[in-house]
Structure 1
């Protein structure tokens, strides 16, 4: 039986099918996304969503959807589905769905009377082209298909509405048309593998509504432009391929291209393969050969912290060392440009955040464990040394190394950690001063770099780092460890945050920790009792003031909940690593049970991937972005660690 398969009962129940989303990407920044029933519920949904760098840095929805109508004996059966204002759904094409399967490529089977129509979808790798194959599996009489494209030509952050500016012009091309609604946009090429008739019948479909935007407190409706429709006969057993792209294609090769793209797809037939597929969706390959990791979908770009946290899990954990090196090559260029105060030439955001170089060291440390210290020194030895000296010399604009060996950061007025939500221009969680994970990262970094320096014979540098590490260790315990056995979240003079937060788990999980075994166990116990959920660690304990576990409502309400009790799977990855380091094989079964909570997500929300965050209280609903790189990465890294400890003698 297929791993990602849904029967008619699920597909025709809109409460079930509309909350499940399907994401396809092309590894060049473009994507295609909708719900299982092909009804768009977000403004970010669309059949062809592409970057348009000539306009801005956002993605843009060109082709919102494509309705197909089956025509027999003059009777029309529209298989499309749209939600309109007033909770009206039309034309209710979901009632014809028999089953949906997503193991290889997304495949929907429709039955209309004696007609059995199969639809398969792929997004061509590295091209802004969506391909859809329609196969008439069965029919007892002459059958015609009619295709009606819904166009948007807008940013994913905006809506389009009926207007007189939109161009109605179109130009016939090989088995299709090209059109462009607004100046500055690329042409949209819509073509078929078979000769067809295009009927120009322009109209606006008004009041299309997106319930996910309603839930988030945003405007939620728009008008979509339909230039007309394509029509062609189809015989039993025949397949027709539709292509929508920003470039034309020779239509005689569409069927072959579709087969080739399907052949390249690896099946999503189990938990691990789903995660590998999700990991590849974060890849972004620029035309200048720069390689990036997107932080998530549908609204995230490439962010520096997310890149370094995600990199080991998305590459090394699935034995893709080459992509680690490609991404690190681009990221190193950005890091050096920042450290040398030169203009950035890479498209990595938030590289100025003070913990970014510290996470870069951690990512390289994972690389060293994968390939050995010798290779690591060859590839990144100079970079590691430059990062550590950069911090020691006090050249980072918001990272100061104090005489007590700890790093100090100003986060009062601007969010500087991963807990970065703001309200009214101010951080919701103003973490400032000595921040617990910054200093855990620093201790781990200087110990790791000292070990490498010792290997290369740079004993003076190694000795200096060891001396700094001893000072940092002593001050860390004195500053952060409290009488209740857990770590303060941050300390700034006489101000200290006693909230029980997950950031202390890093001091237990890292290879080099300033804590002794008993102290580590105490921290882990508190995390287990107060923060652990089936979806990762809560961002705040229910016993701490301000606990707000439900990430729902309008923007401001969600901003205040974002890091005040919601659960994050990527934090759970470090928690499970800490468990394994402290308790070894005795915790294997416990961690395997924890992984069940993530495997359940493969069939909910966005299929085969992990949401950005989860409510901190049962039933732990997935929220935010439909797919989040750090979460996928840490689950993959945990699976790798489980394998290591399972077979460890």
Structure 2
């Protein structure tokens, strides 16, 4: 990941970031290839610019003629005063389960000859850290075998004892000079702006030189070969996927590109081969229950395989239950990725989609479906029985007790205090709680009689009272929650969980009024604001130091993922023509962002709430991609 001009501005920018090293967090392996071409005897010109604290140079960008990401990232440079056209193409590949990257270089037919030198710049560090010159790194690089002239030559490089070996392969004749150099003080300007360390050293084991005649094409490959025993127990490895659910219509190409993008987030635990999860976002997030369950409906469409998605829910269920219902202290609950009080409810929402809405139907009488339904029933009963110490089910609804935790996806904290705590009766959690009970009642004869009576009586008794206390009459929308005494009249997208639900909580008139207010004040071309600009707490820009950013994270910042539940709600209350007209500019902007901005081929985590909606946060976020895909599918399939 990085920028089109290849200038690294963050510690997360680089040509190769991988989870193939048996680590819980991804590893930053290779910053880039320092490429130079020979201008005259003893004088070379770089094709890539770096910043060493005084701003990046402009030699590389001045030679860059064009860039595209389709079908692979490709840069075209004009060298020798425009007499030579050099194309550089970047690809990922796998070889016998090992991950690798390839750089292909091609000189156009009418070009003048070019002498190109290549110096790989290794970082080999945790993605959140910075590499520094150290004596522990072994800079030895050795030839592998004795190929004949004109054949590919490979080299091995094992920088650290506890890591795998890098195999470097050049497909053409070349010269090689051993270097073993540390290049010092690469500077990442955006890290300094955020108040983080911003300088790094990179190691270059060797320099390769290739003489290119017109029409010459060659490749430089890097393959990470892990030890067999380490590979077999590797924590995280991407899993293949089936063909996506077919989609026709004007957005079919975007839909299929999103489907391919989602493959990047799914991983399989090789120690427990039935366990799959979803990486929340790159480069700094790991697998979280909430993100996995919100993303799963869209991912299941990209797989076209609801059974596999249900098996994922099955594998996550013990973790959710253990962390919410078996641990007895607040601290014990809060330190794990299944800790959200909404996790079991979002798990149930994903199950409902797979059994009721996925185009590939799964019999509700199947053993797997019955097991998952029984799990959801047990969890709802455990909430009623007070087995989660942070929750009390009252005659008003699902009550989240006060504490130092954040109750929902709006989970930013500053100095240990949640910015948007949402304790009490938050609308999204209560809507999901009611919907899960309704789902169990409507569809499943296996529900125990006692549970059926409890759920039915509770919904009849509580839901109307809860909804009446959430209505913000003076501005005609659904509030964000209630603490038992006072209404939280914030206009946020969380009410969409209630509006989209098959379980009706509000009148049609109230729902239409809320949709109008959400559309006018929260909807943007790239997603939904987390707070209305009319609110005095609204933050229109996500920037500054960590605390300042966290204060803005859910106080106006735009998130793309709620576009999925917004689309569901819109299709429920509006004619499809109005839905399409409203969302057309959103899909156009997200598609442009996907292909041209940020991390090419992905959708960012967040954007500023104010125009021009600058992209922020993680440049690749699973639920941003998954819910955009699901929104496209909903429009084309449910109301076509």
Q: TM-score, normalization: structure 1?
A: 0.84
Report the equivalent of 1:291: 276
Q: CA, structure 1 residues 111+281, in 2 after alignment: closer, same or farther (shift >3 Å)?
A: same
Counterpart CA distance in 1 for 2:105 and 2:365 is: 49
Encode CA deviations 1:337-365: one digit per residue, 9 max, x unaligned: 546749xxxxx952122110100110111
- In the other structure, the counterpart of 1:134 is 105
8 Å contact from structure 1 (residues 282, 296) kept in 2: yes
Q: 1:457 to 1:324 in 2, by over 3 A?
A: closer
Q: Is the 8 A contact 1:316 1:324 kept in 2?
A: no
Would you say the 8 A contact 1:131–1:242 is kept in 2? yes
1:626 aligns with 2:594: no
Equivalent-residue separation in structure 2 for 1:73 and 1:536 (angstroms): 52
**Structure 2 Cα separation of the partners of residues 183 and 411 of structure 1:** 48
Residues 1:432 and 1:376: Cα distance change in structure 2 (over 3 Å):
farther
* Pairing partner for 2:49 from 81, 88, 93: 81
Whether contact under 8 Å (1:391, 1:399) holds in the other structure is: no
Moved more, 133-142 or 587-596: 133-142
CA contact (8 A) 2:608 2:616 kept: yes
1:639 is matched with which residue?
632
Residue in 2 that maps onto 1:59: 26
The aligned residue for residue 100 of structure 1 is 67
Tell me the residue number matched to 2:231. Answer: none
CA shift at 1:241, angstroms? Answer: 1.8
Mapping for residues 133-152 of structure 1, pairs under 5 Å: 133-138=104-109, 142-152=113-123
Deviations 1:569-607 (A, max 9, x none): 212321222111011324232232332232232322222
1:552 is displaced (CA, Å) by 0.8
Aligned to 2:464: 474
Q: Deviations over 1:286-334 (max 9, x none)?
A: 3343322111111111110011001111222673435524533432353
Distance of 2:85 and 2:434 partners within structure 1 = 63
- Name the structure 2 match of 1:215: 193
Report SS of the residue matched to 2:478: coil
Q: Which residue of 2 aligns with 1:383?
A: 372
Distance 2:89 2:164 in 1: 26
User: Following superposition of structure 1 onto structure 2, how do residues 454-493 of structure 1 map, counting pairs within 5 Å?
Assistant: 454=445, 456=446, 461-484=451-474, 485-493=476-484
1:51, CA displacement in angstroms?
3.0
> How far did 1:237 drift?
2.5
Contact 1:392/1:401 (8 A) holds in 2: no
Q: Residues 278-427 of structure 1 correspond to what in structure 2 (within 5 A)? A: 278-288=261-271, 289=273, 290-316=275-301, 319-321=304-306, 323-335=308-320, 337-338=322-323, 341=326, 350-368=337-355, 369-370=357-358, 371-372=360-361, 374-375=363-364, 378-393=367-382, 394=385, 396-398=387-389, 400-404=391-395, 406-427=397-418
Alpha-carbon distance in structure 2 between the residues aligned to 1:200 and 1:391: 64
Q: 1:402 to 1:285 in 2, by over 3 A?
A: closer
Partner of 2:148: none
| 2:21/2:226 contact within 8 Å kept | no
The CA deviation at 1:564 is 0.7
The alignment partner of 1:148 has SS state of: strand
Give me the whole-angstrom Cα distance separating, in 2, the residues matched to 1:444 and 1:157.
39
1:377 shift after superposition? 5.5
Q: Distance in 2 between matches of 1:115 and 1:224?
A: 30
Query: Structure 1: which 5+ runs fail to align?
Result: 1-32, 250-260, 343-347
Cα deviation for residue 140 of structure 1 reads 5.3
Q: Are 2:51 and 2:187, in contact at CA under 8 Å, matched by a contact in 1?
A: yes
The structure-2 alpha-carbon separation of the partners of 1:504 and 1:148, relative to structure 1 and needing over 3 Å to count, comes to: same
SS for the counterpart of 2:202 is: strand
Counterpart of 1:231? 209
Deviations for 1:355-395, whole angstroms, at most 9, x for unmatched residues?
A: 10100110111112114462475433322232233232336
C-alpha distance in 2, partners of 1:53/1:200?
A: 26
- Once residues 141 and 373 of structure 1 are traced to their aligned partners in structure 2, the CA distance between those partners, rounded to angstroms, is 62
Summarize deviations over 1:8-27 as a string: whole Å, max 9, x none: xxxxxxxxxxxxxxxxxxxx
Of 102, 115, 134, the match for 2:84: 115
Deviation readout 1:501-537 (Å, 9 max, x if unpaired): 2211211012223222122123222222322222222
CA distance in 2, matches of 1:247, 1:232: 25
Q: Do residues 71 (structure 1) and 61 (structure 2) align?
A: no
Equivalent pair of 2:122/2:202 in contact (CA under 8 Å): yes
Q: 1:145 to 1:433 in 2, by over 3 A?
A: same
Q: Partners of 2:308 and 2:87 in 1: how far apart?
A: 36
Partner of 1:40: 8
1:124 to 89, 93, 111: 93
Which residue number corresponds to residue 609 of structure 2?
A: 616
Contact 2:21 2:163 survives alignment (8 Å): no
Distance 1:378-1:592 versus aligned 2 partners, 3 A rule: farther
Change (3 A) 1:501 1:377: farther
Rounded to whole Å, the distance in 1 between the matches of 2:221 and 2:413 is 42
Match of 2:140 among 160, 169, 174: 169
- Gaps (5+ residues) in structure 2? 146-152, 228-239, 328-334
User: Displacement, 1:442?
Assistant: 0.7
Alpha-carbon contact 2:140-2:157 (below 8 Å) kept? yes
Matched, 1:49 2:17: yes
d(CA) in 1 for partners of 2:305 and 2:57?
45
Change (3 A) 1:318 1:178: closer
Match of 1:159 in 2: 130
Q: Which residue of 2 aligns with 1:252?
A: none
